[in-house]
Amino acid sequence: MSVQKPKQINLGLMAAGGMAGVVSKSVVAPFERVKIVCQTGASNEGMIATTRRIFAMEGLLGFWRGNMAACVRILPHKAILFGWSDIYRSVLSSQTIVPIASSQVGFFAGASAGMTACILTYPLDFIRTRLAGLIESLPRHSSMLSAFVVIVREEGTRALFRGMGPTLLGSIPYEGIKFGSYDLLRGFLPEGIDPKADFAGKMVCGGGAGMIATLLTYPNDTIRRRMQMQGIGGNPRIYRHTWDCYVKLAKAEGYKSYYRGLTPTLVRAMPNMGIQFACYDIFRSWLPKH
């Protein structure tokens, strides 16, 4: 039994993935901001009421608060995610040690790439949540650098990795389900269609894949947001670990709290994932053929 030599890291594919992530994040940033505010408990109201509160207190630009941090994070995160997804896909498809069905390759490749991207970019995700997690007329942090300095000074360097456990726990199935579903849905696209129709098809398949993955893994995303927000200003931590957060949140706010912010998440899922996958394929098509 042998394993073929894996592909080398393709910087072009990583750049295409990073640019696709930045474009999609910026377009759907308002939905993402509403979602995070709902998840952190800063708002117990619905999507519309939360949207009005943000606009009333922070103005139109408030919907993009934390988006710069999201883009700074998403560039390396999506670059690693898409670039390494192709690498893992190549390795899994060519290896003969453990037989893997072709329909399962997308899942395992996406899961492995998601774990890799999560580990390498987590502190940026933590800072982004701190910037966007509260509705404030006078923001506590004026920039990513300010947030980084304040967090390290008040809570220590280890705080930057708070909530990494549930993030990893969620990123593996989320990315696996997303990439696996995308491959399955693309199989339904008709062959030989023109580029415009192909773009629309990829939008639908990418959005559908994102919605499937979101619905199946959403509670874990809420838990990681809660753990990221605790300890602000050096205050005592409420949750000791992931399971403790699940239990305490259910007791204090009910099981429905796991799905708080799901509506704006689903509303943004189709354009977010659709734009992301479609832009990635477009940017990748611009790369020179070897």
What domains lie within the chain, and their CATH numbers?
Answer: 11-285 (1.50.40.10)
Measured between alpha carbons, how far is 163 from 226 in angstroms, rounded to an integer? Answer: 8
Q: Burial code of 215-226, b = ≥16 C-beta within 10 A, e = fewer?
A: eebbbbbbbbbb
Q: What pLDDT is recorded for position 2?
A: 46
Q: What pLDDT is recorded for position 157?
A: 92
pLDDT by position in tens, the chain (length 290): 444 454 555 778 778 888 888 898 899 999 999 999 999 988 888 899 999 999 999 999 999 999 998 888 877 887 888 788 888 888 888 776 777 777 678 788 888 888 888 888 899 999 999 999 999 888 888 889 999 999 999 999 999 999 998 888 887 788 788 878 888 887 777 776 554 456 677 777 877 888 888 888 899 999 999 999 998 887 888 999 899 999 999 999 999 999 999 999 888 877 877 788 788 888 888 887 75
